[in-house]
Structure 1
């Protein structure tokens, strides 16, 4: 059974609704799309349909921040209090930009079981709009002492980037990441005003995710993208077209060798790293969203899977990892 036939059977068995693209260099190894971008209007998904990527956005946020460091507007050692001023007073004064990037800041997370008060996603329409939700979350541990995945840290990074550059965060992502990378279909879209060729996310009960996600995403998640855009992103990143190559190497080196994940992933600055080898990946998971994009620079091989359900991408990701990613 060839790779395409295997994926076809898996998609039929699991009800996969999404798109995938495997590319080696300039060669497309496999491209497929299944299911509906919009169930009510029977609009099919295509390989170039835009999907939400949830926390996959964090890689873009990290690249924006590093590009500002390259320009001298920030530093890894910048203490966030320098830009926050009196805002978010419960964040420890010692917290640095690098600790936020590496999920080692220890700040309270606005998006979690113990968040006080629980977030109200319909109020999130800009990076600054996240401030009320971020406020009031107490520091969880001493900065720099351990890894703890933290959405709030990346929402704070978006606010810092806006204040350092004097521009809206979405514009910073566009001008500093997606345009240099050649990603024309990647953008922050309003979840209640999705344009053509964009997949609506669906919950397990069949409702859309429009009331479950922020109206507009920010530094911790919510961007929309396509499989072809990620096939362009990884080579552009490796070539130094987004940030200089020495910074790419620094961002994709392990800052946390242990993260407590089931796959024993390590973490760099904005990017997940498997336990060994040079593979780099971005991943997202949320209501009506599942996404993973993997890059093996030694093989110039990229693999991207996007789905408009929360669990749909993972069987396909595992199958492709077994069939495509082993080796070097």
Structure 2
């Protein structure tokens, strides 16, 4: 059984709803779409359907921050207090941009991904809403002491970026990441006002996830993208079109060899790094969302799996890891 047949078999067994795309450069190695983008109207997913990518957004946030560092508006050592001022007073004054990028800040986290939906999700639609949600969480450990995955840290980075550049964060992502990569279908969309060709996320109950997500995403997650856009992203990143190549190398170098419960992964600055091999990946998980996109610099292979259910992407991503397209 070839890999395409194996994917179709697995999609049927797991009732996979989503898209799989594997490419080498502009060459498509494997492409398939399964399930429904909108169950009520029986709208099928297609390869260019937009999906929420949850924490995959963190890679974009990290690149915005690095682009501002390249311009001299920030540095890795910038203490975020210099831009937060009196806001979020429970964040330790010693927390730097690098601490936040590497998930080593120790700040209290406003959103536990293993818990129920984020606090007041319908109020999370802009920096003021996120500032309110981020407040009141005490520092958990001294800055730099260890790795602890932290959604709130990337929301703080979005606030820092917007203040340093004096521009809205979503515009910074559009102009500094999406435009140079040619990612025309990637954006922060309102979860209650999704345009055409966009998949609705579904909970295990079968209900839509609209009441389980922030109205509009921010630095820690919530953007929407397509498989072709993510292929374009990796190509542009490797070519140094988003940030210089020396910074790409720095961001994809190991900053944390130990990542707690995820011992099979290391972490750079905004990117996960599997413990074996040279792969770099972005990943996202939320209510009605699962996503993984992997780039292997040694072969130029990119593999992206997007799903509009919370667990849908993982069996498919595991298969592609075990049997890389073109290598089987």
| TMscore range, shorter length | over 0.9
CA-CA distance at 1:277 after TM superposition: 2.5
- 1:321 alignment partner in structure 2: 321
Unaligned runs of 5+ in 1: none
Residue matched to 2:97: 97
- Contact conserved, 2:3 with 2:325, CA < 8 A, in 1? no
**SS at the partner of 2:62?**
helix
Return the offset for 1:210.
0.2
Query: Are the equivalent residues in 2 in contact too, given 1:90–1:137 (CA < 8 A)?
Result: yes
Alignment-derived partner of residue 281 in structure 1: 281
TM-score by structure 1 length? 0.97
**SS of 1:188 mapped into structure 2:** coil
- Deviations 1:22-69 (CA, angstroms, capped at 9, x unpaired): 001222111000000000000000000000000000000000000000
Q: Which residue is equivalent to 2:255? A: 255
Indicate conservation of the 8 Å contact 2:29/2:325, yes or no. Answer: no
Whole-Å separation in 1 of the counterparts to 2:108 and 2:14 = 37
Q: Which residue of 1 aligns with 2:5?
A: 5
Deviates more, 1:317-326 or 1:92-101: 317-326
1:187 is aligned to 2:187: yes
- Aligned match of 1:292: 292
Q: Matches of 2:98 and 2:151 in 1, distance apart?
A: 15
RMSD of Structure 2 on Structure 1 (CA): 1.6
Contact 2:30 2:325 in 1 (8 A): no
Q: Give the SS at the match of 2:303.
A: strand
Q: Structure 2 length normalisation: TM-score?
A: 0.97
How far off is 1:325 after superposition?
6.9
Shift of 1:297: 1.0
CA deviation digits over 1:258-302, x for unaligned, max 9?
102445200000000011322100000000000000000111100
Closer, same or farther in 2 for the Cα pair 1:114/1:10, shift >3 Å? closer
Conserved? CA contact 1:293–1:305, under 8 Å: yes
1:191-210 matches, cutoff 5 A: 191-210=191-210
Mapped contact 2:29–2:326 kept (Cα < 8 A): no
Deviation >3 Å, runs of 4+:
none
Give the Cα–Cα distance (whole angstroms) in 2 for the partners of residues 144 and 325 of structure 1: 39
Number of residue equivalences: 326
Please name the residue that 2:47 is paired with. 47
Match runs of 1:125-136 below 5 Å? 125-136=125-136
Gaps of 5+ in 2: none
Distance 2:52 2:160 in 1: 24
Return the alpha-carbon distance in structure 1 between the equivalents of residues 325 and 155 of structure 2.
32
Q: What is the CA–CA distance in structure 1 between the aligned matches of 2:39 and 2:93, rounded to whole Å?
A: 49
